[in-house]
Amino acid sequence: MFRSPFPDEVIPNVSVYEFLFGDLDDEDARRIALVDGPSGAETTYGQLVAQIDGIAGALAARGAGVGTVIGLLCPNVPIFASVFHGILRSGATATTINSLYTPDEIASQLRDSGASFLFTVSPLLPQALEAAAAVGIDAEHLIVIDGADGHPSVTDLLMQRAAAPEVAFDPATHLAVLPYSSGTTGLAKGVKLSHTNLVANVVQCRPVLDVERDDRVLALLPFFHIYGMTVLLNIALKRRARLVTMPKFDLPEFLRIIQDHGCTYLFIAPPIAVALAKHPLVDQYDLSSVRALLSGAAPLDSALAGAVAARLATRVRQGYGMTEMSPVSHVIPPEREDISLGSIGVPVANVVCRIVDVETGEDLPAGETGELLVKGPNIMLGYLGRDDATRDTLDPDGFLHTGDIARVDDDGVFWIVDRLKELIKYKGYQVAPAELEALLLTHPLIADAAVVGAPDADGQEVPKAFVVKVADADLDEAGVMAFVAEHVAPHKKVRQVAFIDAVPKSSSGKILRKDLKGK
């Protein structure tokens, strides 16, 4: 077993709300917690907590509490923090939903999670309404944060002035959030993360993520994703830093916000690193305030990391994690200049890792390559309603099978070298090949299909479809891509298409994706 080089941290046995805000004093209450990047509107820590308590009270008055699941469909705006933590403060469980999802995708998550309320914003109301109708959520339970006729708004909730409820639950077993992840294979599944899971990961990251009180953290990565939820939202709030929110990526606006708000700490995914390293527009802005940048959600090439560090004259580091790990398990520590930027660094506090032979499951020593297994207080409780998938992912000793092939060197530094799991990571988002394959097979001119990850011109992974056409079918690459685009969120679109005579399969009918890689 390979242990973290950091001593174990004590994980408090408290709710997320108590952990983040229980020690808020008068001085902290006056500090700015959140800034809306586009407009500059500010929310203090005192205002944030008051909003959280008010939303929790209003939800409790509507019957929400322990056992209730509430959907949250919202981009990165300051009120997201109030609603998200208001849901948790009420004792309910939040299931955060990708803002780019189609009505069918939203409905699928609401239905699977058992959500009985849904928060959204007016720009997303059309798809929210369609999804809510499909699962039986009525107008009173569809709360439009910024207001819409016939629906409660956050202002309505706060005007009730209902006291936050007294709730009692075991933080180690009570679900705080139900984000959705494809895990190592298959369709998206609800990941059961407890209050203790979320609290633990914030504590575990203390030695490796040096966000400080005076930092201005750019919050571009979506809060609905576990990376944004823990690393941005919860860590920044715990450290009493200032979060500057961005609802969507636009390079000129991204650079302007960094410059105008003096952002000091950037958390990004590799596609943004490509822009920072190569785009000529970067030179037109003053980014000298940036003291640190951390990339996660997908692999970052060491040469690309070095190019960003050189161009911005700043520190660049890489981290690794999964939704199932709340999410951080490995990071290159700030002070470790000796560690290659192409590695994922070292395990965070309280984490134990194994490298095992893929075929036999036997433990392997340093230097050898095998599947990475991780154990710690941040590991999920399991998948919602999917005991089979839980058993496949969590072994009896509590180790999580990551589906990633790794090695550890003699200095205890970990490297991801390949992927055992089928998951595609497009711009940090998960894309399950099985979902796209099932969709492609509904096309009347497609006889069979397989989807794998393939590199684009920048070396980033994109979904590529291998398609077997029905005999004499008039179907081209553009037609395939357009068909998929009509039915899925943008990050799931097929970006490359190849036509083949037959999809390679094993004797049991399983697609042999490795035979398609590189074609």
Q: DSSP string of 247-304?
A: SS--HHHHHHHHHHHT--EEEE-HHHHHHHHH-GGGGGS--TT--EEEE-SS---HHH
* CATH code, domain with 101: 3.40.50.12780
Whether 324 and 430 map to the same domain: the answer is no
Whether 377 and 431 map to the same domain: the answer is no
Phi-psi region of 460 (alpha: psi -120 to 50; beta: other; left: phi over 0): beta
Local structure of residue 162 (DSSP, 8 states): P
Q: Is the pLDDT of residue 315 over 90?
A: yes
User: Lowest mean pLDDT: which of 177-181, 211-215, 232-236, 504-508?
Assistant: 504-508
User: Lowest mean pLDDT: which of 313-327, 394-408, 417-431?
Assistant: 417-431
Q: Is the pLDDT of residue 508 over 60?
A: no
Residues ≥6 apart with Cβ < 8 Å to 252: 281
Local structure of residue 348 (DSSP, 8 states): P
Pairing of strands 346-347, 328-331: antiparallel
Whether 319 and 441 map to the same domain: the answer is no
Say what the pLDDT of residue 457 is.
84
Asked if residue 416 is part of any domain, the answer here is no
Say what the pLDDT of residue 59 is.
98
Q: What mean pLDDT is predicted for residues 39-45?
A: 98
| Sign of the C-alpha dihedral computed for residues 212, 216, 220 and 222 taken in this order | positive
pLDDT cut 70: percent of the chain above it: 98
Whether 268 and 353 map to the same domain: the answer is yes
Determine the Cα–Cα distance for residues 457 and 461; give it in Å rounded to an integer.
10
Whether 372 and 449 map to the same domain: the answer is no
Whether 301 and 211 map to the same domain: the answer is yes
Q: Is the pLDDT of residue 347 over 90?
A: yes
Rg of the chain over all Cα atoms, to the nearest angstrom: 23
User: Lowest mean pLDDT: which of 26-30, 507-511, 514-518?
Assistant: 507-511
Mean confidence (pLDDT) of the chain: 94
User: Lowest mean pLDDT: which of 57-71, 176-190, 288-302?
Assistant: 176-190
Q: What is the pLDDT of residues 85-133, one digit of tens each?
A: 999 999 999 999 999 999 999 999 999 999 999 999 999 999 999 999 9
Q: What mean pLDDT is predicted for residues 400-426?
A: 89
φ/ψ of 314, rounded to 5, equals -140, 170
- Reported confidence tier of residue 343, pLDDT bands at 50, 70, 90: very high
Specify whether the CB–CB gap between 20 and 52 falls below 8 A.
no
In a 13 Å sphere around the CA of 416, the CA atoms on its Cβ side amount to 27
Asked if residue 418 is part of any domain, the answer here is no
Q: How far apart are the first and last CA of the chain?
A: 37
Q: Is the pLDDT of residue 500 over 80?
A: yes
Q: What mean pLDDT is predicted for residues 45-67?
A: 98
Report the number of distinct structural domains present in the chain.
Answer: 2
Number of helices followed by number of strands (H, E) in the chain: 16, 27
Asked if residue 108 is part of any domain, the answer here is yes
Residue 72: its H or E element: strand 69-73
Residues ≥6 apart with Cβ < 8 Å to 303: none
Closest to 454 (Cα-Cα) out of 440, 472, 433: 433
Say what the pLDDT of residue 147 is.
96
Q: What mean pLDDT is predicted for residues 295-315?
A: 90
Say what the pLDDT of residue 271 is.
79
- Reported confidence tier of residue 296, pLDDT bands at 50, 70, 90: confident
Closest to 335 (Cα-Cα) out of 210, 509, 248: 210
Whether 101 and 213 map to the same domain: the answer is yes
Q: What mean pLDDT is predicted for residues 17-40?
A: 98
Q: Is the pLDDT of residue 2 over 80?
A: yes
Burial of residue 139 (number of CB atoms within 10 Å: 0-12, 13-18, 19+): middle
Q: What is the pLDDT of residues 456-498, one digit of tens each?
A: 888 888 999 999 999 899 999 999 999 999 999 999 999 999 9
* CATH code, domain with 455: 3.30.300.30
Whether 325 and 456 map to the same domain: the answer is no
Cα–Cα–Cα angle for 262, 264, 267, nearest 5°?
120
Record the tokens describing residue 13, joined without a space: 């046995």
* Strand boundaries in 437-505, DSSP class E: 446-455, 461-469, 496-499
Tell me the range of 44-53, 419-428, 505-514 where mean pLDDT is highest.
44-53
Asked if residue 437 is part of any domain, the answer here is yes
- Reported confidence tier of residue 427, pLDDT bands at 50, 70, 90: confident
Whether 381 and 489 map to the same domain: the answer is no
Burial of residue 47 (number of CB atoms within 10 Å: 0-12, 13-18, 19+): middle
Residue that is written with structure tokens 């891509």 in the block: 481
Asked if residue 311 is part of any domain, the answer here is yes
Record the tokens describing residue 199, joined without a space: 């609290």
Whether 277 and 150 map to the same domain: the answer is yes
End position of a domain, from candidates 351, 376, 393: 393
Q: What mean pLDDT is predicted for residues 400-410?
A: 94
Whether 311 and 231 map to the same domain: the answer is yes
Q: Model's pTM, two decimal places?
A: 0.87
Question: Which range of residues forms the domain containing residue 327?
Answer: 2-393
Asked if residue 402 is part of any domain, the answer here is no
Q: What b/e string do you get for 428-458 counting C-beta neighbours within 10 Å, with b at 16 or more?
A: bbbbbbebbbebbeebeebebbbbbbbeeee
Asked if residue 407 is part of any domain, the answer here is no
Say what the pLDDT of residue 509 is.
65
End position of a domain, from candidates 372, 393, 414: 393
Record the tokens describing residue 152, joined without a space: 């409660």
Whether 330 and 465 map to the same domain: the answer is no
